[in-house]
Structure 1
């Protein structure tokens, strides 16, 4: 068997214009990449969308868990900073009454939904 022929080392001269006739070209962009996009990361920082003023949002809640044959638990919270928990039947019933009373005496400013209720 014979060895393959070596490739020629001389390359042809370029046929691109030089001097005043040469026009610089823009660097090519990657396929599918929009121009001006960041290489690593996002173009703009994402922020949460502001709530429209006309929509309702949750300002407090009462969450009661009472599975069968187990100890009931409850949590009451409000945007004013009140956050209480209770475990046991008597304590959960007391927390429900306290939560109902707090809704009428809460120091937070009255909202449209609260005034209507």
Structure 2
């Protein structure tokens, strides 16, 4: 390749006429311990830190009580056994909260021993 000549000016340098190849990196072998898998991946299998203990939600109580006294509160209580109740108004919501607590002590899904006693 030949270099193209420019008039002798202070800021212009000579350039090549065609493209040139970029310098390539040199392949070197790394000396060390061979890796079994990608770096950062554990080789040994660890136990699952989030094991399932078998507990599941069974009974729920949802209360909507706005901060304003002019708005009527409401509540809903339900269970996977089929128990479901709704209440609207302060007095009815308080009664539903008490009924929800009573259901939790007598629910056959939460207390399997109480089902056997009822049959006996």
Give the TM-score normalised by the residue count of structure 2: 0.45
Give the TM-score normalised by the residue count of structure 1: 0.46
Between structure 1 and structure 2, the one with the greater Rg is 2
